[in-house]
Amino acid sequence: MLRLLRQWSKKAAGLPLLARPAQRGRSRFLEGRFKDSNPAGGSERNRRRELDYRLYLPSGSSPRDSLPLIVMLHGCKQDSLLFAEGTRMNALAEEGRFAVLYPEQSPRANQLRCWNWFESASLTGDGEAALIARLILQVTVRRPIDPGRVYLVGMSAGGAMACVLAVRHSRLFAACATHSGVMYGAAHSPLQALAAMRSGPSAASMEESRRLMREAGESQVAVPTLVIHGDHDTTVNPLNAQQIIEQLKLRAEFLDPAGGALQASDELLIGAGRSYLQQDYLRQGGILLRKIMVAGLGHAWSGGDSHLEFNDAEGPIASRLILDFVMQYKREIAAGGR
């Protein structure tokens, strides 16, 4: 994991989106490269960035559609294609009629293809976080996407980056889900990242995280979030799941103090075979946060394709749990806005 953290290539702004078909058929799985540059200022911080991606569009989709979009952030040692195959999200997209966007980390930015979720630029909403956000915005503009139904999903390092985006670019997303992730601001260096994964954030990192949350400002919104974790995960300590929940609970109460405190439901034991514990956090009768702890699951996508690393075929099927949660939310779009 110490190798995970090479220097990131910095912030930029948008140039045209390029895409070409990766395979032909009734549905479309497009691959492309988002070229992003910021002409305002020539510093290293603002140099040109590029981000490869894949975009799945269900069969029969047309420019007249207004499809929900699931944004999938892969984990370390994965790429967009492996993540798509492991989670089987494209098959569900065909069934449920939604699009799926898979941003892909470059090995030039990180040798293990981990998202650099702990870098100071991303933690302030710049860097890789801004690059991903601008890719998402470009896709919603150029493709038949409903901007009010954009949902963010991440696994492991992708889950940690999803937490960053849900705080710093919250107005892009109607809902979020993390699988085996780490809370926003849990680490600020490679060594802290490794420590947070093993044991949870330190007290100092927790305090710094609270400062960053306040700094993010009241212009942001609380994004409904599902947190999934395996209780046998030895790569990312399961303690991180509750820390994500506690952080987002405090954030929601900070952003809307008039709404009152979130109330935790009783834990429910669900499922035969491999079971899971589910607990909801509600405000005024609506579910804002949900935590699912899967019994016996290690550091792997629950219900994924076990022929691929970081996937466990035994249920519950995380992809369906995620869709059931996020699809109930829709973001309000101002007139004339996105």
Give one DSSP letter per residue of 215-262, joined into a string.
Answer: HH-TTS-PPPEEEEEETT-SSS-THHHHHHHHHHHHHHHHH-GGG---
Tell me whether residue 274 is in a domain: yes
Task: Please check the confidence at residue 45 and state whether its pLDDT lies above 60.
Answer: no
pLDDT at 288 over 90: yes
User: Who has greater pLDDT, 230 or 337?
Assistant: 230
Mean pLDDT of 310-334: 94
What CA–CA distance (Å, rounded) separates 105 from 70? 17
Amino acid of residue 21 = P
On the question of pLDDT at 16 being above 60, the answer is: no
Task: With respect to residue 335, please indicate whether it lies within any of the assigned structural domains.
Answer: no
Q: How confident is the model at residue 128 (pLDDT cuts 50, 70, 90)?
A: very high
Average pLDDT over residues 34-56: 69
User: Encoding tokens for residue 274?
Assistant: 């491999």
Number of Cβ atoms within 10 Å of the Cβ of 82:
20
Asked if residues 19 and 34 have their Cβ atoms less than 8 Å apart, the reply is no
What DSSP string runs through 122-154?
Answer: HHTT-HHHHHHHHHHHHHHHHTTEEEEEEEEEE
- Tell me, yes or no, whether 337 lies in a domain: no
Enter the tokens of residue 177. 């889900």
Question: Taken in order 121, 123, 124, 129, is the CA torsion positive or negative?
Answer: positive
Confidence of residue 81 (pLDDT cuts 50, 70, 90): very high
Is the pTM above the cut of 0.95?
no
Q: Which domain holds residue 74?
A: 2-326
Question: Does residue 336 lie within any of the structural domains?
Answer: no
The amino acid sitting at 63 is: P
Residue pointed to by tokens 């569009």: 57
Neighbour tally for 127: CB within 10 Å: 23
Question: Does position 21 have pLDDT exceeding 60, yes or no?
Answer: no
Higher pLDDT, 26 or 35: 35
d(CA 102, CA 153): 10
Least confident of 24-28, 131-135, 231-235, 250-254: 24-28
Compute the mean pLDDT over every residue in the chain, rounded to the nearest whole number: 87
CATH code assigned at 275: 3.40.50.1820
Predicted confidence band of residue 208 (pLDDT cuts 50, 70, 90): confident
- Cβ neighbours of 317 (radius 10 Å): 18
Residue 87 pLDDT level (bands cut at 50, 70, 90): very high
**Percent of the chain clearing pLDDT 90 (strictly above):** 73
Is the model's pLDDT at 3 over the cut of 80? no
The pLDDT assigned to 329 comes to: 98
**For residues 77 and 105, what is the distance between their CA atoms, to the nearest angstrom?**
10
Going by pLDDT thresholds of 50, 70 and 90, the confidence category of residue 19 is very low
Q: Which residues contact 321 (CB under 8 A, 6 or more apart)?
A: 226, 228, 292, 302
**Please, where are the H alpha helices in 58-202?**
80-87, 89-96, 120-123, 127-142, 157-168, 190-199
Residue closest to 228 by CA, chosen among 218, 215, 214, 242: 242
**Is residue 166 a part of any domain in this protein?**
yes
- Residue 126 within a domain: yes
- Residue 321 within any structural domain of the chain: yes
Q: Residue 178: enclosing H or E segment and its boundaries?
A: strand 175-179
Q: How confident is the model at residue 18 (pLDDT cuts 50, 70, 90)?
A: very low
For the chain, give the number of residues: 338
- 229 lies in a domain? yes
Binning the chain into helix, strand and coil, the percentages to the nearest 5 are: 35, 25, 40
When mean pLDDT is compared over 16-25, 28-37, 99-108, the highest value belongs to 99-108
| Structural domains in the chain (count) | 1
At 44 the pLDDT is 42
Question: For residue 32, which phi and psi values (nearest 5 degrees)?
Answer: -160, 180
User: Residue 40 pLDDT more than 70?
Assistant: no
Q: How confident is the model at residue 336 (pLDDT cuts 50, 70, 90)?
A: low
The residues near 336 (Cβ < 8 Å, ≥ 6 apart) are none
Please compute the mean of the pLDDT values over residues 86-98 and round it to a whole number.
97
338 vs 67 pLDDT, higher one:
67
pLDDT at 220: 82
Q: What is the pLDDT of residue 210?
A: 82
* pLDDT recorded at residue 8: 28
CA distance 331 to 175: 8
